Amino acid sequence: MITTTSTRFTFSMAVAAAGVLLAAAGAMAQAAPLRAPAGRFGVDIVVGGVPRPEYQARGTAYIEALRGREYTIRLSNPLPVRVAVALAVDGLNTIDAATTSAWKAAKWVLGPFETVEIPGWQVSGETARSFVFTGERDSYGAWLGKTENLGVIEAVFFRERTTWGAIDPLMEARPAPVGSAGAAAPRAKPQAEELGDDYAATGMGDRREHRVTRVHLSLEREPAAVVRLRYEFRPELERLGVLSPHRPPLQRREGARGFPGYCPEPPGWQR
């Protein structure tokens, strides 16, 4: 599993009830810890420092992908104990690109009430390659030949096992998939010619310093929360009915008015 905090980044490999975690030190060591929103396991997709809005449709949470833009994944832990998070993008573990179950996956670890950002694919103990929205053909999954789950980001949260008793589970506000944690219904593998640039996926961007260290952690067997986000470019979200299409130019012009008010002055034009 990998644990990431403001003072370190860790990951851990869950085996039975225990795991091996990796924690990072370095540039973030002096940063003040961020606190998670109360009562909510959070997964936000952040572009340019701003979380992307979510749209609910047919029991699924969607976000609009911005072609060519890098993004980070912000994880929040609302519990007073550490949690380990199995985090997959396009069905690939963000730590090692493996396609195991959530329980067996390498995981990020968050401290109590902590919020952290995962900057990209962890390619070594010191470096990550940023997540970037791209078309299917240029995705990391296409390069690996693993294209069954393009267009989805999923985080499965496991609580640290404690000796002083269990904590009442906090339910994630966003819809969680039915069935075993992190398990997705099998889909036929797309052929290379079926992949298209109209559909969003995630590629590899620039290198970023992101040091990690291994630690040990014992986890509860059942997940505390599962968060799944679907992402597409805007035209596809409109076709799915998640977003309304832009108004045609003539419809926009029909609503024009001749006297909206006084003339505004652009900033810096005052003399």
pLDDT digits (tens, 9 = 90+) for 158-185: 999 886 554 444 433 343 333 333 344 4
pLDDT in tens, 79-138: 999 999 999 999 999 999 999 999 999 999 999 999 999 999 999 999 999 999 999 999
| pTM, to two decimals | 0.74
Does residue 188 form part of some domain? no
Q: Of 25-39, 113-127, 189-203, 234-248, give the lowest mean pLDDT range.
A: 25-39
Say whether pLDDT at 186 is over 90: no
Does residue 268 form part of some domain? no
pLDDT, position 271: 58
Does residue 104 form part of some domain? yes
pLDDT, position 23: 40
pLDDT, position 81: 93
Of 233, 81, 101, the residue nearest 166 (C-alpha): 81
Does residue 269 form part of some domain? no
End-to-end CA distance of the chain: give it in Å, rounded.
61
Name the residue with higher pLDDT: 100 or 216: 100
How many folded domains does the chain comprise? 1
Does residue 271 form part of some domain? no
pLDDT, position 193: 58
- For 146-166, what is the mean pLDDT? 86
- For 5-25, what is the mean pLDDT? 40
Does residue 240 form part of some domain? yes
| Secondary structure, 3-state, the chain | CEEECCCCEEEEEEECCEEEEECCCCCCCCCCCEECCCCCCEEEEEECCEECCEEEECCEEEEECCCCCEEEEEEECCCCCCEEEEEEECCEECCCCCCCCCCCCEEEEECCCEEEEECEEECCCCEEEEEEEEEHHHCHHHHHCCCCCCCEEEEEEEEECCCCCCCCCCCCCCCCCCCCCCCCCCCCCCCHHHCCCCCEEEEEEEEEECCCEEEEEEECCCCCEEEEEEEECHHHHHHCCCCCCCCCHHHHHHCCCCCCCCCCCCCCCCC
Name the residue with higher pLDDT: 30 or 92: 92
Pairing of strands 114-118, 18-22: unpaired
Does residue 200 form part of some domain? yes
pLDDT, position 217: 86
Per the structure, the complete domain to which residue 58 belongs is given by 2-177+194-247
pLDDT, position 245: 81
Does residue 109 form part of some domain? yes
Say whether pLDDT at 5 is over 80: no
Q: How confident is the model at residue 196 (pLDDT cuts 50, 70, 90)?
A: confident
Looking at this protein, which amino acid is placed at residue 46?
A: V
Name the residue with higher pLDDT: 207 or 27: 207
Q: Which of 1-10, 136-145, 185-194 has the highest mean pLDDT?
A: 136-145
- For 248-260, what is the mean pLDDT? 69
Q: What percent of the chain is predicted at pLDDT more than 90?
A: 58
**Residue 217 contacts residue 184 (beta carbons within 8 Å):** no
Distance separating alpha carbons of residues 84 and 12, to the nearest angstrom: 7
